[in-house]
Structure 1
Amino acid sequence: MRWTFRISFLLLLGWAIFMVSPFVALYDLSKAVQAKDVARITERVNFNALRASLARQIFGEYLKTQDISERDRQLAAQAGAAALNPVLEELLTPQALIDLLEDGQLQQIQREGAAGPAIRFDPGSLQQALRIFVLSESQGFRAITIPLNPDEPRDRQFRLTLRLSGTTWRLTGIDLPTSLQEELRKRATVASK
């Protein structure tokens, strides 16, 4: 009977550690951004997955508004990816990521009123930490989406997606606020001309 309790306790402890680990990784990423530690940021970010996430947001919503066939939509997506490449190259550097995660805006796109909330995982209180934990969306055992600034409306929130890679949680996606998505779409349009 003692072995049953010990094994149950160890399983429960392991599960609790697993549930908290993405938040610890996000806190570590936040501290790396504050310290401007490029090596730690590079270790914690999957830039290829982040590229796909941003391209899908910037160009995907535009395609939904167009009345084109599925075949043409695929061709347009390929052409859009090529047009977005210069914009994404600017966004997917460690320094640009530091700018975005530090103050919620890109220094290359300074516009009045376009700044979002700072992306810091420092909940400040146990109640705020619990709110962020509850509003997080698990996508199986290997991915989680964490809303930062959960008090903001959804279209003004940054939502970070972390994915387990080996034993390390890495940033694989950032859902941008609507205003920043629109600004990047405009920028991609200008860059493609």
Structure 2
Amino acid sequence: MRWTLRISFLLLLAWAIFMVSPFVALYDLSKAVRTKDVARITERVNFNALRASLARQILGEYLKTQDISERDRQLAERAGATTLNPVLEELVTPQALIDLLGDGQLQQIQREGMGGTEIGFDPGSLGQAWRIFILSESQGFRAITIPLTPDEPRDRQFRVTLRLSGTTWRLTGIDLPASLREELTKRAAAASK
């Protein structure tokens, strides 16, 4: 009976550590952003996956404005990555992440009403940490999406996706607020002309 209780306790402890670990990794990334530690940011971010995530959002926003068939939309999505490459190269760098996660906007894209508040992961209170934990969406055992601004409406939220790679949680996606997606879509359209 004692061994059963000990093993159960150890399994429960391991599960609790696993459940908290992506939040610890996000907090570590947030500290690296605040201190502008490029090496640490590079360790915690999968830039290829982040590029694909941003390309999907920007291209999806652009294609919403176009009147094209489903077949043409699929072809446009494949071809769009090449067109978006110059815009994405500016977005998917450690410095751009410092700008974006530091104040909620890219320094190259400053408009009134966009960003302006720090969106780094620092829950501040136990209640805020609990709210972030509850609103997080697990995607199996290897990925989780966490809202960085849980009190904002969903269309104004920054949401980050972390994926477990080996024993390290790495940033693989950032869901941008609608206003920032629209602005980046305009930049991508201007760059393609």
TM range (shorter): over 0.9
Q: In the TM superposition, what are the counterparts of 1:27-106 in structure 2 within 5 Å? A: 27-106=27-106
CA distance, structure 1, for counterparts of residue 11 and residue 2 of structure 2:
14
In structure 2, stretches of 5+ residues that fail to align are none
Instruction: Report the equivalent of 2:14.
Output: 14
Normalised by the length of structure 2, the TM-score is 0.96
**AA of the residue aligned to 2:85:** N
The CA deviation at 1:116 is 5.0
Partner SS for 1:163: strand
Equivalent pair of 1:59/1:80 in contact (CA under 8 Å): yes
The CA deviation at 1:111 is 1.6
Instruction: Report the equivalent of 1:123.
Output: 123
Q: In the TM superposition, what are the counterparts of 1:127-138 in structure 2 within 5 Å? A: 127-138=127-138
Instruction: Report the equivalent of 1:156.
Output: 156
**AA of the residue aligned to 2:122:** D
The runs of at least 4 consecutive aligned structure 1 residues that moved more than 6 Å come to none
CA distance, structure 2, for counterparts of residue 128 and residue 134 of structure 1:
10
CA distance, structure 1, for counterparts of residue 63 and residue 93 of structure 2:
26
CA distance, structure 2, for counterparts of residue 19 and residue 114 of structure 1:
32
CA distance, structure 2, for counterparts of residue 109 and residue 116 of structure 1:
12
**AA of the residue aligned to 1:184:** L
CA distance, structure 2, for counterparts of residue 75 and residue 185 of structure 1:
18
The CA deviation at 1:67 is 3.5
Instruction: Report the equivalent of 2:112.
Output: 112
Larger mean Cα displacement after TM superposition, 69-78 or 26-35: 69-78
Larger mean Cα displacement after TM superposition, 132-141 or 59-68: 59-68
Q: State the Cα deviation string for residues 120-161 of structure 1 (Å, max 9, x = none).
A: 111111001000000000000000000012111111110000
Partner SS for 1:146: strand
Partner SS for 1:107: coil
**AA of the residue aligned to 1:142:** R
CA distance, structure 1, for counterparts of residue 18 and residue 128 of structure 2:
20
Equivalent pair of 1:116/1:177 in contact (CA under 8 Å): no
CA distance, structure 2, for counterparts of residue 157 and residue 73 of structure 1:
27
The CA deviation at 1:72 is 1.3
Equivalent pair of 1:116/1:156 in contact (CA under 8 Å): no
The CA deviation at 1:108 is 0.8
**AA of the residue aligned to 2:111:** R
CA distance, structure 2, for counterparts of residue 180 and residue 153 of structure 1:
14
Aligned-pair Cα RMSD in Å:
1.1
The CA deviation at 1:65 is 4.4
Identity within the alignment, %: 87
Partner SS for 2:108: helix
